[in-house]
Amino acid sequence: MTRMPHGISAFIQHELRTRGRDEVPAVEAARWLDHAHMLTDSPSRPGLPLRKLLRADRIEGAEQRPPQRYGRWFIRQLKT
């Protein structure tokens, strides 16, 4: 089952707050989403479905480091 990106962003932000984390690497967040049945992960390329949303700028708090083609993706906790 795949939900809308806003729900995915909200879920990741909730998990960051619940787990007391300031940020999470995209691959780890993808595991959270897969375990919650919110976004099925790719068995051959872990994190790929989430990275596609990150590249499309559809996830809040997303940041690529370094900010270039092969940088790693992270999702920061948004301050409320």
What does residue 60 show for φ and ψ, rounded to 5 degrees? -70, 140
- Kindly tell me if the per-residue pLDDT of 2 is higher than 50: no
Percent of the chain topping pLDDT 70: 92
Q: Which residues pair with 72 in a beta bridge?
A: 65
Residue with tokens 């051959």: 44
User: DSSP per residue over 15-64, as a string?
Assistant: HHHHHT-SEEEHHHHHHHHHHTTSSPPPSSSTTHHHHHHHHTT-STTEEE
Domain ranges within the chain, ordered by starting residue: 5-76
Residue type, 46: P
Q: pLDDT tens digits, residue range 14-42? A: 999 999 999 999 999 999 999 999 999 99
